[in-house]
Every structure is written in structure tokens, then in C-alpha cells.
Amino acid sequence: MTKVLAISGSLRRDSHNTALLRAAAERAPSGVELELWDGLKAVPPYDEDDDGDLAPAAVTALRSAVAGADAVLFATPEYNHSIPGVLKNAVDWLSRPFTTNPLRNKPVAVVGASTGVFGAVWAQAELRKVLAATGARILDRELAVGQAADRIDGGRLTDDETADALADVLRELEAIVHAREAALTRAAA
Amino acid sequence: MSTSTIAAPPSTWRLDDTHSSVGFQIPYLANAFKGAFREFEGTLDVTDAGAKLSGAAKVASIDVKDENLAAHLQSPDFFDAEQYPELRFAADRVALDGESVEVDGEVTIKGVTRPVEATGTATGPLTDPHGNERIGLTLSATVDRTAFGVSWNAELPGGGQALGNEVTILAELYFVKAEQ
């Protein structure tokens, strides 16, 4: 079973991006299991003085959750043409220490929703750039869910085309996980 | 130019990796940046049909002065050490002209194999104080890193990019003749 940690960059209760991840969990292909992470709001501002063996509990929990997952699926809204500060902050915590950070070589995918027509494409590109800096293994694909208010009703995704695309993203992410496992097996042989 | 392939009694030469080095040089900002690999292997096989040179370097052994830079170079942004743990080289034509040497072969970086021509000098053979026969090859070759999918870069504030694409691969190789 491929374990995918799903992280929404939006804290809002009725977030379209969180709804996307719930839909991804429901439509996950067999062999893929999604866990929705809901600890983003508890992650404090990054401060190297607070890092190390006594890192804040919310950060330790986040690092453990990513380390324990086979892959991570991010859904990001777009704030001022970029990613939300809280999401960048969480990735900054995850990226330290750089040489052993839990995102290193981790297969990751990025999707995004917005109420406008562009579907958070710039935020997705920015998040992929940030994730590349951490050493993550990034799925080269975007899923831009525009006009999200028309596709999500009462917190549920109602658009089959988007649901199919989410399932495709998970299948491609699973393929990267399997390729990574094969490489690690070869290296150990 | 008259060239000849290495002609000698068939023999196998093993790389003395303690004294050899394999590295690279790439334009970075206002100068050239150099790195090297600590772990590599190589063999020179001389047969009646000519000489063959082959070798491999471990990406995880990349040697630069900062551990964070080493980690970045091993990440998917650059060599992707986890997926492609080795760089490989194989040549079945090694041509000598006096001390000059030309090697035609293939280099494999990040899983992509492309032809490459290396040039340099050959020294020896000579006998070392322990009675071993040694020869030296100093080779360099230039490749376009983007052809191998090693395409990270960063835009500079004033225009242009931080890192060049033409990489010079540098190898100082000491071979010791294997016992027959």
C-alpha cells in the first residue's frame, strides 16, 4: 500500500483545496491510501533558534508524518500570485536540516484550486520550485482547478473530470514511489 | 595526423584510485566551479584489436566543500544519486599520437548515454619502485549537461543565468598493469 500524506495550504474550514484532497482520498486508486494532515495552523513561525532536538511538537509531528509517508500530495491556493505563508513556513521547517530533511528524494505532487479561472497555476509553480530546493522528487504535472466554487458544493467535489484528474495524479505519484523503491532495492543488492 | 591505437601485448591495467582523480569544472557566476568524485573505478584493456577504456564514478561520493551543496548536487535537481547512483564511461577506441591521446566513447549521466570524445596525454609505461608497470592518462571532455537532464539553473537579477551548461570532465588516471 502506498501511503500518501495530503497537505492543504489553506486553513479555511470550507477550503476548496482541502475539499480537493478529501476527494482525492475518496477516489484514490487501489493500492494508494491518503491521510489528510490537519496540523498546519499549529506550526509556529520558523526560527532556527527553536529548531534542533527540542523542535516544537507541531513541527516534530509534521516531520514524522512526512518521513512516514511514501509520498506527499500538496493542494495550494494562490495568495498574491504565490503560495500561502503558512504553507511556505511548513516547508521551511521540513527542509531543515537540509542534508537529511524528510522531503529529500520524497515523491511529491502539487495540485491547486482557485475561484478564478487560473486554478492557482502560479502558486503551484512556486510550490514546485520551493519543493525542488528541498531535494524532493517532484511529479512534473500541474492540476489547475479553476472556478472551484462551481465544482465544489458543500465541501464535496462534484466535477467528475477533476476527480479523474486527481486519480491520475495519484497513479503517477504511485509510479514514482515504485520507481524509487526499485532504485533503493537495486542499490541495496 | 598519424595516429595509432595502443599496440602492445594484450594486458589489463587497473586504476590506482588513490593517486587518480575524476572531477568536473563548470562556469558558475564569475568564475569556474570545480568538484570531484571520491569513489570511482576504471580499467584499461589492451587487446590485439586495440585498447578499451571503461570506468564508473559513484554520485554519492561527490566531493565539494559544503555538505549542503553536496546534498543539492545529489538531489533530483542535479545528478539524482538515488535513482542514478553511477556515472559511467566506456570507450572502445583509444588512439595515440606520440604523447597525445584521443578517446572515443560514451558517457552515461543520469541514465542518459551519449557519445563523447576525450583528449589528453599519455605517459609511460614506466616501472615504479615496487616493480609495477604504470601508465598515466590525463583526459578531458566537454559535455552539455542539459543533454543529460541535468538542467538546474537560477536567473541572475541583472539577466543571464548562474550556471553554465558546458561541463568539462577532467580525469587524471594512473593505471597499474595487472598480473597476467
Q: What is the mean pLDDT of residues A91-115?
A: 97
pLDDT band at A189 (very low <50, low <70, confident <90, very high): confident
Q: What is the mean pLDDT of residues B56-80?
A: 97
| Mean model confidence pLDDT for chain B | 93
List, as ranges, residues 88-107 from A with C-beta within 8 Å of B. 98-99, 104-105
% pLDDT > 70, chain B: 95
The pLDDT of residue A75 is above 50: yes
Q: Which pTM value belongs to this model?
A: 0.90
The pLDDT of residue B3 is above 80: no
The pLDDT of residue B1 is above 70: no
Q: Chain B: nearest CA to A97, how far in angstroms? A: 9
CB pairs under 8 A between A and B: 35
CB-nearest to A183 from B67, B82, B152 is B82
Contact A101, A133 (CB under 8 A): no
Whether residues A105 and B75 touch (CB distance < 8 A) is answered with: yes
Contact A139, A121 (CB under 8 A): no
Using the Cβ of A184 and the Cβ atoms of chain B, whether some distance falls under 8 Å is answered with yes
CB-nearest to A180 from B70, B77, B82 is B82
pLDDT band at B4 (very low <50, low <70, confident <90, very high): low
CB-nearest to A98 from B71, B77, B83 is B71
| Mean model confidence pLDDT for chain A | 96
User: Helix H segments across A39-189?
Assistant: 57-68, 85-94, 121-134, 148-151, 160-188
Whether residues A105 and B71 touch (CB distance < 8 A) is answered with: no
pLDDT band at B2 (very low <50, low <70, confident <90, very high): very low
pLDDT in the model for residue B7: 55
| Cα B92 to Cα B88: distance, rounded to the nearest angstrom | 14
Whether residues B83 and A180 touch (CB distance < 8 A) is answered with: yes
Nearest by Cα to A74 from A44, A36, A39: A36
CB-nearest to B71 from A135, A179, A187 is A135
| Chain B interface residues (partner A, CB cutoff 8 A) | 67-68, 70-72, 74-77, 80, 82-83, 85, 152
| Cα A31 to Cα B124: distance, rounded to the nearest angstrom | 60
Whether residues A138 and B76 touch (CB distance < 8 A) is answered with: yes
pLDDT band at B49 (very low <50, low <70, confident <90, very high): confident
In chain A, residues with a C-beta closer than 8 Å to the C-beta of B68 are 98-99
The pLDDT of residue A111 is above 90: yes
Whether residues B75 and A180 touch (CB distance < 8 A) is answered with: no
Q: Which stretch of B1-10, B42-51, B121-130, B158-167 has the lowest confidence by average pLDDT?
A: B1-10
- Phi, psi at residue B171, to the nearest 5°? -135, 125
Whether residues B76 and A136 touch (CB distance < 8 A) is answered with: yes
What ipTM did this prediction achieve?
0.87
Whether residues A135 and B67 touch (CB distance < 8 A) is answered with: no
% pLDDT > 70, chain A: 100
Whether residues B76 and A184 touch (CB distance < 8 A) is answered with: no
